[in-house]
Amino acid sequence: MDHYGVLGNPVEHSKSPAIHARFAELTGQAMDYCKLLAPLDNFAQALQQWIDSGGRGCNVTVPFKFEAFQLAGTASERATLAQAANTLSFGDAGQIAADNTDGAGLVRDIQLNAGVSLAGRDILMLGAGGAAAGVLGPLLMAGPRRLVVTNRTHAKALDLVARHAKHPSLHAMLQKTELLALEQQGLQANFDVVINATASSLSGGAVPVDPRVLKPGALAYDMMYGAAAKAFSDWALAHGAVPRDGLGMLVEQAAESFAVWRGVRPPSAQVLQEMREALA
Ligand code: ATR
């Protein structure tokens, strides 16, 4: 029996143990997966304890994804672009390899589960914090025509874009979130896909962008799910877009982590369907 878990703080709410248990059951993998509460001021020690106790790997969630990346000896390209890790694998001598499956999970959910192809499309990313950083590289790899990053704090958007700057489809918006600013930069302010990676809804804030960025029928994707995604979903529906919450991203990033660890891809669409039914 191989042991995995998710380190976070808080971690009690995590759905990852249920998702991975179902993946293991459906693929016949001999593994278990638990929640691991790490102290806010000592993630490194909690991680080392997990390695010492025989863990084969772990997921890492808020607020430790950056620290997890720093502690790893090696990192995948997508983790390096994100400067953050949500998936760690341990070698026999305790070496830590970092990966980040958040972006792959988002792209798979949009393209496979929602059926929206990203190649050649215009994408607007709202936010430039950890959630946005984790997904930008895989979004670029999907081949959009343009990917515009907009953020309340300009400097953070610029930093994020600078790290990904070799990709020609990426623009940074230097102004806040006004439609006017898009036009001033000569960008057509119509997007096929608008992704909300901000935390504005958590503080009760409005969606931080003019709804005219939405093409009719655009996909309006919130990386959160449940009640936290309601404000963005309502905004999308009110402006002729198709809302989607981040539950599929949650399941797909887990599936990608599972594949990294076990070399087996679980039936993620089935598990997503089961979760939607359980939550309904
Ligand atoms: P996370 O890891 O969830 O991305 P984060 O790194 O704190 O958390 O980033 C939160 C994002 O939501 C940031 O892009 C933040 O904008 P700033 O960089 O200007 O802080 C954005 N955000 C949070 N509250 C917001 C609000 N009320 N309006 C607009 N953007 C907001």
Question: What was the pLDDT predicted at 172?
Answer: 62
Q: Which CATH number belongs to the domain containing residue 256 in this structure?
A: 3.40.50.10860
Highest mean pLDDT among 101-105, 118-122, 142-146: 101-105
Q: Which residue has the tokens 């693929």?
A: 27
Q: Which amino acid is at 140?
A: L
Angstrom distances, CA of residue 231 to CA of 5, 44, 169, 193 = 31, 36, 29, 17
Mean pLDDT of 260-279: 97
Using CA positions, which residue lies closest to atom 26 of ligand 1? 200
Residues 116 and 226 in one domain: yes
Residues 241 and 109 in one domain: yes
Q: What is the CA(128)–ligand 1 centre distance, in A?
A: 7
Using CA positions, which residue lies closest to atom 27 of ligand 1? 200
Q: What is the CA(136)–ligand 1 centre distance, in A?
A: 15
Mean pLDDT of 14-22: 98
Active site residue 65: yes
Higher pLDDT, 149 or 27: 27
pLDDT at 173 over 90: no
Using CA positions, which residue lies closest to atom 7 of ligand 1? 129
Give the model's confidence band at 178: pLDDT under 50 very low, under 70 low, under 90 confident, else very high. very low
Residues 54 and 162 in one domain: no
Q: In this structure, are residues 194 and 233 in contact, taking their beta carbons and an 8 Å threshold?
A: no
Q: Which residues contact 145 (CB under 8 A, 6 or more apart)?
A: 120, 121, 122, 169
Q: What is the CA(224)–ligand 1 centre distance, in A?
A: 13
Give the model's confidence band at 253: pLDDT under 50 very low, under 70 low, under 90 confident, else very high. very high
Residues 11 and 86 in one domain: yes
* Beta-bridge partner residues of 191: 214
Residues 192 and 178 in one domain: yes
pLDDT at 159 over 70: yes
Q: Which amino acid is at 226?
A: G
Residues 154 and 213 in one domain: yes
Question: What was the pLDDT predicted at 201?
Answer: 82
Q: In this structure, are residues 158 and 133 in contact, taking their beta carbons and an 8 Å threshold?
A: no
Mean pLDDT of 129-154: 90
Considering only CA atoms, which of 196, 194, 155 is closest in space to residue 172? 155
Q: Among 126, 148, 200, 207, name the best residue to mutate to test ligand 1's pocket (greatest count of ligand atoms within 8 A of Cβ).
A: 200
Using CA positions, which residue lies closest to atom 5 of ligand 1? 129
Q: What is the CA(26)–ligand 1 centre distance, in A?
A: 37
Q: What is the CA(260)–ligand 1 centre distance, in A?
A: 29
Give the model's confidence band at 175: pLDDT under 50 very low, under 70 low, under 90 confident, else very high. very low
- The helix-helix angle for 247-262 and 16-27 (nearest 10°) equals 50
Residues 149 and 217 in one domain: yes
pLDDT at 47 over 50: yes
Mean pLDDT of 134-140: 94
Residues 169 and 228 in one domain: yes
Residues 82 and 203 in one domain: no
Q: Which residues contact 161 (CB under 8 A, 6 or more apart)?
A: 149, 170, 171, 172
Half-sphere CA count of 59, side-chain side, radius 13 A: 28
Q: Which CATH number belongs to the domain containing residue 207 in this structure?
A: 3.40.50.720
- Domain of residue 119: give its range: 103-245
Residues 146 and 202 in one domain: yes
Give the model's confidence band at 233: pLDDT under 50 very low, under 70 low, under 90 confident, else very high. very high
Residues 107 and 230 in one domain: yes
Number of domains in the chain: 2
Using CA positions, which residue lies closest to atom 25 of ligand 1? 200
3-class SS string, the chain? CEEEEEEECCCCCCCHHHHHHHHHHHHCCCEEEEEEECCCCCHHHHHHHHHHCCCCEEEECCCCHHHHHHHCCEECHHHHHHCCCCEEEECCCCCEEEECCHHHHHHHHHHHHCCCCCCCCEEEEECCCHHHHCCHHHHHHCCCCEEEEECCCHHHHHHHHHHCCCCCCEEECCCCCCHHHHHHCCCCCCEEEEEECCCHHHHCCCCCCCHHHEEEEEEEEECCCHHHHHHHHHHHHHCCCEEECCHHHHHHHHHHHHHHHHCCCCCHHHHHHHHHHHHC
pLDDT at 179 over 50: no
Q: Among 86, 148, 151, 176, name the best residue to mutate to test ligand 1's pocket (greatest count of ligand atoms within 8 A of Cβ).
A: 151
Q: Which residue has the tokens 């994804």?
A: 65
- Ligand 1 atom closest to the CA of 62, numbered from 1: 2
Question: What was the pLDDT predicted at 165?
Answer: 83
Q: Of 15, 35, 65, 230, which is the active-site residue?
A: 65
Residues 27 and 134 in one domain: no
